Each structure stands twice: as C-alpha cells, then as structure tokens.
Chains A and B, each alone.
Chain A
Amino acid sequence: MTEGAGARDGTSTGDPAAVGQAAGPPEAAAMKADQAVGIDPHEVAAIGPRDAAAIMREARERAGNELRARRPVLFVTWGLVLLLGYGAMWLSVRGQHPYYAPAWQALGLTFLLFLLAAVVTAQVVDRAASGIGGRSELQRGVFVLALLTGSAALLIEKSAMAQAGASRPILGVLGAAAPMLATGLVFVASAALTARLDWPRLTLGIWLLAVAAGGAWGGPVTMLAVCALAGGGGILLMAAIEPWLRHA
C-alpha cells in the first residue's frame, strides 16, 4: 500500500469530531490522500485530531508488533525443548543404579532440539530486528555472547572437574544445571539494562536459577526431572503470563 500526506479530505469541516466521524478509518484518509494526483506530499494532510490520534495508535501498535520479537513463540519453543530434552534424559537415567550418564540417544535428541530451537529463535529475532541498527544490535550481540560463553565456561568447568576426579553424579548435576545457570544469570543481569525493567526476563531468570540451585539437592536423576518439569514448565507458563508481566 502506498500513501501520502497531502490531500485535503472533502469531508473536513474543521470540527474535530465531524472530521473524525466522516473521514472513516485513518487508513482510508491516507489512501484518499495518496490517490490524489499532483498533490505535493509536503502539504499538511487534512486530518483532524481524532484521525491523528487513531493514526498514532495504529502506528504505535504496528511498530510494537513488527519490531518486538514474539516472545511467547520463543518461550513455547524453549519450554518444549527443556521439557522434552531433559525429560528424555531423565527417562534414560531413572533406572540407573548407580547413576552413570544419560543415554546417547537422549543426549542426541536434546542436542537436536537445542539446534531446532536456536534456528527458530534466530528467525523470530531476525524478523523483528531486521533493519534495526544502533545500540540494540550491539546489545543483542553481547547477550548471545554472554549466553554462549557462560554455557561453554560451565561445561569446560565440568570437564575440568572430571579431570580432577569428580564423581559421575556430581558431573551429572553440573551438566544439567549449567545451561540453566548460564541462562538464568544472563537473564537477570540483562533485565535491568533495558529502558524499562524487563519483568518477564527478570522473573524467568530468577526462576531458572532457583530451579538449578534447588534441583541439585535431589541428585543427578531428580535434577533432570526438575529441569524438565519446573524449568520447561516454568518457561511454558511464562509464555502465557508474559503479556501481563510486560505491562506490570
């Protein structure tokens, strides 16, 4: 659709209320303006205050919808990944006495789910952030870097602990907690860096840290179940309450 500013709507009477009622939706007024031939778009459009208010509201809503990543999609995606991935690992270890490690099939499934979720995330974020530059672009880069380096550092730590002779149950707890700890810390720290306090991110970050810290006390098998149910379930719940928290 093209539009222009400049055509004086023939219905305009100078009365804001009359213009607002007669001109119809702001899109219609804009299209009328665009259809006018030879109108200099520098000219002020014949929009009344009500039209202007409607245009502002519509433009704000559209920009909000188009420029904001669809968080519920991301929350549902990652909630399912945690639920299914950790759930599969838990199913593969719950009969182990003593605990050894999740089956390679469960680890493979979790890895694939993580890859799939990363692709979905990249697409959702890219759709919203396409063409947007400046500080947000830099912040996104640092955010992803923090998540990747945090997770990698914790997994390297796990390898170092294995090298130092840590038992399989200890490594199991750390391996399950590492992604939750890294994500939780990054979420909590970054929640305060937005223009307005990001309540959904802060809440989710604190929740993931609590899940990681609390689940560890149950040992490696229980830890996986807690991560699946409380971690994945918590993120899925966040998908439902995020709009409410965002406006809190």
Chain B
Amino acid sequence: MSEAELDPVIHGAARLRIMVTLASLRDGDDVSFTRLQDLIGLTPGNLITHLRKLEDAGYVTTEKNGSGVTARTAVALTHGGRAALEHYSVVLRDLLDSASPG
C-alpha cells in the first residue's frame, strides 16, 4: 500500500479539513458557506476553489437559496463523499499501521 492510493481529491490539507468537517454534520444536514468558512478558516476564494473541486468529484453539493441579504449557499456531503472519506480513512490507517515499527 502506498500514498498514491490516497484519494488525491481529498488528500490535501484544506480539502481534507472540509470533508471531515462536513462529515461531522448529521446525515441530511447542510452548512452555510459562511459558517463553513469560519470552521475551516479559509478565505472565500480558496474555499470556493476547493469546494468546486470536491463538487466536480461528486463529493459535495452546493445549493444557493434565496437572494439578496437572505441568500444562503448550503454545502453538504454526498453519500459518495462520505463513502470516499471512509475509504480514505481506511487507506490512511493501513498506511500508518504499515509505517509504524513492530
């Protein structure tokens, strides 16, 4: 098993943090873009870029509701995204186990 088996879409500091944060939500929940930004600590531009990458992979959905001051962009993890993060965790654990002495 090698690092190459880690999903490259997830295997980045910011995107990994986004995925784990979204996975902390209950099934069926979403989080607003601004709250997610607060939780992750990314600039809006960076967050949009990473979310687009994750959305292209089918791992997250973004949905804009309302308009003007009531506008809210909801971000949620898809079932595929949750499964991908679980697989990533398994591969990561195997890598760490194989790297640990003894």
Contact = CB atoms under 8 A, between A and B. Distances in A.
Nearest to A195: B26
A45 to B, nearest CB: 4
B84 interface: no
A24 B46 CA distance: 23
A47 B29 contact: no
Interface string B55-69: 000000000000000
A56 B35 contact: no
A26 interface: yes
Interface in B9-51: 11-17, 20-21, 24-32, 34-36, 38-43, 46, 49-50
A213 to B, nearest CB: 32
B39 A66 contact: yes
B39 A47 contact: no
A243 to B, nearest CB: 17
Contacts of A43: 12
Interface in A14-72: 14, 16-17, 26, 29-30, 33-34, 41-45, 47-53, 55-56, 59-60, 62-64, 66-67
Given A44-B12, A49-B96, A131 B31 contact: yes
A45 B35 CA distance: 24
B81 to A, nearest CB: 15
A134 interface: yes
Interface residues of A, number: 44
B41 A2 contact: yes
Contact of A41 (B20, B50, B96, B99): B50
Given A4-B46, A135-B28, A195-B27, A33 B13 contact: yes
Contact of A59 (B12, B17, B42): B17
B21 A41 contact: no
B96 A53 contact: yes
B24 A5 contact: no
Secondary structure class of chain A's binding surface, majority of residues: helix
A59 B76 contact: no
Contact of A52 (B6, B31, B41, B53): B6
Nearest to B94: A49
Contacts of B76: 134
A134 B76 CA distance: 10
B13 A1 contact: no
A6 to B, nearest CB: 7
B102 interface: no
Contacts of A53: 92, 96
Given A53-B96, A63-B39, 15 more contacts: A5-B12, A17-B99, A30-B14, A30-B17, A33-B14, A34-B46, A41-B14, A44-B8, A49-B99, A55-B20, A56-B16, A56-B20, A60-B24, A132-B35, A134-B28
29 contacts: A3-B14, A4-B13, A4-B46, A5-B12, A5-B50, A16-B95, A26-B13, A30-B13, A30-B17, A42-B49, A43-B12, A44-B8, A45-B11, A45-B13, A49-B92, A52-B11, A55-B16, A56-B16, A56-B89, A59-B16, A59-B21, A63-B24, A63-B39, A131-B36, A131-B38, A133-B74, A134-B74, A136-B26, A195-B26
